Amino acid sequence: MSATAVLTIYPTALKVAAVLRARARGGNVSLGHRLTTFPELVDALDREIAGATPVVGEALATLAMHDALAEVVGDASVDERPGLASAARRAIGELAAA
């Protein structure tokens, strides 16, 4: 019989702490638990794929950003501002790198 490893992902560290406290109160102490937060998962995956080639090229990423902006503010607003999608991508990249 094989045991299946389960990784449970929660949105914040506060939620993980609350789950662990609730388990401890119920008599189920969790040592070596497999609970993580979404940001921890993203960081772990980012470390694993460091140096990998991008999945989406620059042109396709800019087109996707254009479409996302068009959904939010409307096609006309995005089309009136050439370079908005590229600028938004650069800003998001800078924020992600910070």
Cβ(63)–Cβ(70) below 8 Å: no
Is residue 3 included in any domain, yes or no? no
Looking at residues 50-73, what average pLDDT do you find? 81
- pLDDT category at 98 given cuts 50, 70, 90 is low
Residues 6+ apart with CB under 8 A from 64: 56
Is residue 80 included in any domain, yes or no? yes
- Note down the domain range covering 80: 58-97
- Amino acid at the residue 23: R
Determine the Cα–Cα distance for residues 79 and 70; give it in Å rounded to an integer: 8
pLDDT in tens, 2-45: 566 777 888 888 888 898 888 888 887 777 677 888 888 888 88
Is residue 32 included in any domain, yes or no? yes
Q: How many domains does the chain have?
A: 2
Is residue 17 included in any domain, yes or no? yes
- Indicate the angle between helix axes 58-73 and 84-97, nearest 10 degrees: 110
pLDDT of residue 14: 87
Look over the chain and give the mean of its residue pLDDT values, rounded to a whole number: 80
Is residue 15 included in any domain, yes or no? yes
**Cut 0.75: pTM above it:** no
pLDDT of residue 1: 45
Whether residue 12 is found in the same domain as residue 44: yes
Whether residue 40 is found in the same domain as residue 68: no
